[in-house]
Amino acid sequence: MEGRRPSPCADPRPAPTEEHAISTPRAPKDPRAPRTPRVPRTGRAPRTGGAPRPAHHAGRRAALRALAVSVLCAVLGAGTPALARTAALDDAGKTVAYRGHTFTVPAGWPVVDLARNPTACVRFDRHAVYLGDAGGQQDCPARVTGRTEALWLRPATAVKAAVTENPTAREFRATAPSEGIAVTAPYGTDRATAQRVLRSAGLPVAAARTEPPLTTPAAPALPADATAHQGKGFDTCAAPGQGAMDAWRTDSPYGAVGVYIGGVNRGCAQPNLTADWVRTQYTKGWRFLPLYVGPQPTAGAGSCADDCAAIQDPAPQGRAAAEDAVAQAGALGLGKGSVLYNDLEQYTPGAALTARVLGYLAAWTGRLHELGYRSGAYGSVSSLVADLVDNAATTTLPDVIHFAHWNDEAALTDPVLPAALWADHQRVHQYAGDRTETYGGARISVDRDLLDVAAQAP
């Protein structure tokens, strides 16, 4: 209700449950559709009326209020799980205690207890604190794009406090001893807030180690056909749990799964996406569509909510994205010869913007080729695909095109695509989006794809 102040002992927003997510899911949006102009928000009118209150009355009331708050917090705290207890700190922050460690976070961040809400989606496009291991079947939208400051704390074996940073993905990772926790702290434009949150728990942020992307240990590589498939597939924001994958392998029409392997604008955490998970799916017959959500054409491109990191320096950013994508793919067992798809959301083509996008994608493709991988690109037929076709003679084309046109037609042709381009098993069509489907009792929100991608010749 407008004008009602939140409790000082609890988060001002309710923790998500299966019925109440952190934010209201966006309505499905055709990637071809033009963007609707945003209407600026209007501020609230200042409060008026009432005479100023005497200072000594205000001080007395503040003291009484503080006493009442302390009693109230003590009462409420008695019924709150120790691992997820929070307390008001001041107007700017609150403390969150987890497994013997205490973090100070902004007061407006909701705290999500994943043990109580096992289907809650761990998202990094919204401010939040997540406590515990994510459930095997998160209830995530099909697509979440963007990155902001958040915190995810979960149990882990740790012998010392350590912090690493991936500046390309804008993410801190940390470990802490005592009962042992693993910390993931993504950030958007406010790196300093992520640092303060980690520092508040005594983690050595000042000594954070920046690892070159290509030093990530690689898992044993899967066979070369891991990213090759002819037939239907789906992509979804968070890699599903094993039960859902098994149910869908048996009952669904799909044989390929799109997984978001990294990128500064990847919005969903990926607790299931490990090398073991990828190898298990491969042995069960699944093939992969690895998607990397790097810098976007604009902050508000496609499904971004004006909070996406944008392309500003095309060539260096394209090369850095390719190196990070190879590191993430290699750690999952997707080796040389695999196709890695750069996700570029819908935008309005124009001279300067088109040049930035094509320059970024050309650098991405060139660096992937140097590293032994094949280049894929995802985009709308009304933006990226149109720009690539119009400039085919002067730009470096990706090896495989993943074109979005939500026309509900499972076909690999489109009026925008010339027959001569990407003609040799080099096409994926995302033909429907934001569809919730259930197979074998497992419910997942997906985008639907049709693939015709061959393995790289030896």
β-strands 256-262, 442-453 pairing? unpaired
| Dihedral (CA of 304, 310, 311, 317) sign | negative
* pLDDT tens per residue, range 205-220: 999 999 766 666 688 9
Burial tier of 41 (Cβ tally within 10 Å: 0-12, 13-18, 19+): exposed
Among the ranges 11-15, 60-64, 257-261, which has the highest mean pLDDT value? Answer: 257-261
pLDDT band at 14 (very low <50, low <70, confident <90, very high): very low
- Cα dihedral value 107, 118, 256, 368, nearest 10: 30
- Amino acid identity, residue 12? P
State pLDDT tens for residues 86-107. 444 445 799 999 999 999 999 9
Residue with tokens 């299966």: 18
- Determine the Cα–Cα distance for residues 1 and 12; give it in Å rounded to an integer: 12
- Cα–Cα distance for residue pair 219/438, rounded to 1 Å: 32
Structure tokens that stand for 365 in this block? 């493709």
Cβ neighbours around 285 below 10 Å, total: 9
pLDDT at 154 (0 to 100):
96
Residue 54 is predicted with a pLDDT of: 42
Indicate the pairing of strand 339-343 with strand 287-292. Answer: parallel
Q: 167: closest CA among 143, 197, 147, 144? A: 147
Q: Closest Cα partner for 98 from 72, 122, 133, 148?
A: 133
Residues 6+ apart with CB under 8 A from 191: 170
Count Cα atoms within 13 angstroms, Cβ side, for 16: 26
Mean per-residue pLDDT over the chain, rounded: 84
Q: What is the mean pLDDT of residues 342-360?
A: 97
pLDDT of residue 303: 87
Summarize pLDDT for 261-287 with one digit per residue, the tens.
999 999 999 999 999 999 999 999 999
Smallest CA-to-CA distance from 397 within 412, 375, 415, 418 is with 375
In the predicted model, what is the mean pLDDT of residues 442-453?
97
Q: CA-CA distance, 260 to 89, in Å (whole number)?
A: 37
Q: Output the six-digit token pair for 449.
A: 């794809």
Q: Residue 415: which pLDDT band, with cuts at 50, 70 and 90? A: very high
The band of 61, judged by pLDDT with boundaries at 50, 70 and 90, is: very low
Token representation of residue 262: 């990294």
The phi, psi pair for 292, rounded to 5°, reads -120, 120
pLDDT tens figures, 299-313: 999 989 888 999 999
pLDDT (0 to 100) of residue 305: 83
Of the pLDDT bands very low, low, confident and very high (cuts 50, 70, 90), residue 64 is very low
Share of the chain above pLDDT 90, in %: 74
Question: Cβ atoms within 10 A of the Cβ of 155, count?
Answer: 15
Distance CA 295, CA 310 (A): 5
Within 34-106, strands assigned E span 86-88, 93-98, 101-106
pLDDT tens for each residue of 120-160: 999 999 999 999 999 888 899 998 999 999 999 999 998 99
